[in-house]
Amino acid sequence: MKHLPAIAASTLGVALGVTGIVLGGADDSPGLQGLGLLLVIGSVLFGVRSARRTG
C-alpha cells in the first residue's frame, strides 16, 4: 500500500501523456506529441524509481 500514491501519480501522468500524443496528432506541429512523449517517459521513470525506493 506504500506504492499506491506513486502508482496513481504515474498512471495519471501516463494517461495525460497519451492523451497529449493522440490530440497532438490532429495538428501539423510535433510540439504536443513531443511533450506527451516526454510526460509518458518521465511518469514511467518516476513510477519505477519510487517503487524501487519504497520496496
- The residue type at 39: L
Encode pLDDT of 11-54 as tens digits.
999 999 999 999 998 877 788 999 999 999 999 999 889 888 87
Exposed, middle or buried, 25 (CB in 10 Å: 0-12/13-18/19+)? exposed
HSE-CB at 53 with a 13 A cutoff on CA atoms is 8
pLDDT reported for residue 46: 92
CA pair distance 24, 39, nearest whole angstrom: 13
Q: What is the pLDDT of residue 52?
A: 85
Residues 6+ apart with CB under 8 A from 54: 2, 3, 6
